[in-house]
A and B are shown apart, each in its own frame.
Chain A
Amino acid sequence: MSNTQQLEDFVTQVRRDIVRQVHKVNSGHPGGSLGCAEFLSVLYQEVMQRKEGFDMDGINEDLFFLSNGHISPVFYSVLARSGYFPVEELNTFRLIDSRLQGHPTTHEGLPGVRVASGSLGQGLSVSIGAANAKKLNGDKHLVYSLHGDGELQEGQNWEAIMYAAAKKVDNLIATVDRNYQQIDGCTDDVLPMGNLVQKFEAFGWDVLEIEKGNDIGEILKGLKEAKSRTGKGKPVAIMLNTEMGHGVDFMMGSHKWHGVAPNDEQLEKALAQNPETLGDY
């Protein structure tokens, strides 16, 4: 994919996929999914070096780990539209006998998924392990991960943040989706996490911010910059400032759409704001 319009079209279709998946089964997490649609689309379409097909070990290609597994609708859409499995399979999201479980899993053998996630706080540790395996294998490719900001309230993250810097895991780019929302409200109301940039830096990470985390150009620039900072003895973190529910006006900026599905009327409104670009499943 080369031009911005093509990327915009990709993202619009991903947003459309997200609301349709969640609406169909009246369950799932549209808010955070929409907020990360641009990021994951850019990552898979423009940034990651990927091999054809899928194998679990992912040697000689970049890897991605989704730690905040509840935003599975965006992950599934981007994976399907990046060729990992048939787009029609999005129809089975959260249904019985599906490979598209509510939260991603390797258990059902869905190509593109390398670890189960959903119980929060585990993805950074797994990413560190995968990055270490790459080093042992002499594989120069990178490991990318995505984490919710609320997810950083889980203590295991701080074990992992401490470890990655101390052990110079510098082939890792961890991105925090900084949307300041979690199920019960604003992160600052539930449990304020303070200045995450300073905290990561204090632990020894190289940190950069993407101020407009829903802007394709800014994301591209930020990821390119992050990539240039790998291999220098420090793990790299990106604070990605996103808006929960981005691209659907009535969902934007509110924690209320963290885990609630749109009704029929709301779906129509959301779809009207995100017209079909690459073909519905």
Chain B
Amino acid sequence: MKKYTDTGKKDTRSGFGAGLTELGRTNPDVVALCADLVGSLKMQDFIDENPERFFQVGIAEANMMGIAAGLTIGGKIPFTGTFANFSTGRVYDQIRQSIAYSGKNVKICASHAGLTLGEDGATHQILEDIGLMKMLPGMTVINPCDYNQTKAATIAIAQHDGPVYLRFGRPKVANFTPEDQKFEIGKAVLLNEGTDVTIIATGHLVWEALQAAEQLEERGISAEVIDIHTIKPLDEAAILASVEKTGCVVTAEEHNFLGGLGESVARTLTLNQPAPQEFVATMDTFGESGTPEQLMEKYGLNAAAIVKASEKVIKRK
């Protein structure tokens, strides 16, 4: 089994900021908008280098989504930035009509997704955003796992013609994917090969899945680990090929088990080759205040939870 090394903890939102800065230098059509959270979204470098291509809209997310839609009319590629909660639920109708239904090339970039915003609590966290965005026809949904992958994803989505939801987070997490990785939208990354169970993870839970695989190996269980950075369109071929080999699956995500990655995987299996599945996700609940680590522990979103779910699902084979 391949061991992955944490090259130093970094926040995925900084990966977004770095990717946006690079786009500012390489793609003159890229413009950025923000609703009063420049620091949180790490957009300052882009703004310093391209002040004329930045739009500060203030605390007015609905207007931001509409302006972004309008900027595409004229060939611009707008990247909107705010917290995930205000990027999705607050402006669902604006995204639905002015962006998705209108087929506009807007990149909705959402930080502080999931539980790990921590102390700010449930009003600023969101555990439903993947579901909201994946239900929109034509929307691409991406949830990268670390700094390097978030940077690569940010750069890659500028090349994709169509609306994209890019989800990332606040806390510093392990940075373990290669700096020069090739990011292909819709293509799963096979991180570890195994034969007993498939662990399919997204976002911050990918690193936890790798830790879980190491712990499972010590117990004599061979786990295959797949990083699904693109939840829609889903790489069904990769999932089915793996589950055909292992016969069972654990999905892991920092999201409600309703509407998230797990549900997309379950649908894929049901329609093709039904197999036992366990969900590591939040169970239809709101979050609360706490440190990211405390919240991951309390809501069962860590390596220990993935190990437990793997042992359980293997028994159901």
Residues of A within 8 A of B (CB): 56-59, 63, 65, 105-107, 114-119, 121-134, 136-137, 139, 155-156, 159-160, 162-163, 167
Contacts and interface: CB of A to CB of B under 8 A. Distances in A.
Contact of B67 (A58, A63, A114, A163): A163
B76 A136 contact: yes
B70 A130 contact: yes
B60 A115 contact: no
Given A124-B66, A163-B58, A115 B102 contact: yes
Contacts of B72: 129, 133
A159 B31 CA distance: 20
Interface of B: 31, 52-53, 55, 57-58, 60, 62-76, 78, 93-94, 96-98, 101-104
20 contacts: A57-B73, A57-B75, A59-B75, A63-B73, A65-B70, A118-B97, A119-B96, A119-B97, A122-B62, A122-B66, A122-B93, A125-B67, A126-B67, A129-B69, A129-B73, A130-B70, A133-B75, A134-B74, A136-B31, A136-B53
Contact of B70 (A59, A117, A126): A126
A114 B66 contact: no
Contacts of B68: 129
Contact of A132 (B58, B70, B98): B70
Contacts of B58: 159, 162-163
A105 B93 CA distance: 15
Contacts of B65: 125
Q: Is the interface of B mostly helix, strand, loop or mixed?
A: helix
Given A127-B70, A159-B63, A160-B67, 15 more contacts: A56-B73, A59-B75, A107-B102, A116-B101, A119-B93, A125-B64, A126-B67, A128-B67, A129-B71, A129-B73, A130-B70, A132-B55, A136-B53, A160-B63, A163-B57
A130 B101 contact: no
Contacts of A116: 97-98, 101-102
Contacts of A126: 66-67, 69-70, 73, 98
B93 A163 contact: no
A106 to B, nearest CB: 5
A134 B72 CA distance: 11
B67 A137 contact: no
Contacts of B52: 136
Given A124-B66, A159-B63, A163-B57, A58 B74 contact: yes
B71 A130 contact: yes
A156 B97 contact: no
B74 A163 contact: no
A118 B103 CA distance: 16
B293 to A, nearest CB: 37
B97 A130 contact: no
